[in-house]
Structure 1
């Protein structure tokens, strides 16, 4: 995988908070930033999927017992 360089401007307070976090975790800034951005994108995609699912919800719901019975799972 090739990598690309990006730069960003952040406030001094946020920079200090990130540095404190990195000292505690031992994580690199790149690892932290990459993970945080990936999490943010995943959350946005999850929210999009959730909103689409709500639109197609026909109101049918099942209890956990009904699902377990259908899947032949003993609770």
Structure 2
């Protein structure tokens, strides 16, 4: 079984936020985006978290549509 790593990046005001995650760690990534947005000492905003969360969900949906269901092919 192939395991892929996804890269999610945001460049904002000279800062770079780069997240590496696999399919199993998507929930933790979404929680991390929320924690970053809630941290007043970071420039990462709730808008940033919302945009990146939407990208993560769209990528997951796209991967689910293009990945054949192994159970059906058996």
Q: TM-score, normalised by structure 2?
A: 0.37
Query: Which of the pair is proportionally richer in helix?
Result: 1
Query: Which of the pair is proportionally richer in strand?
Result: 2
Q: TM-score, normalised by structure 1?
A: 0.37
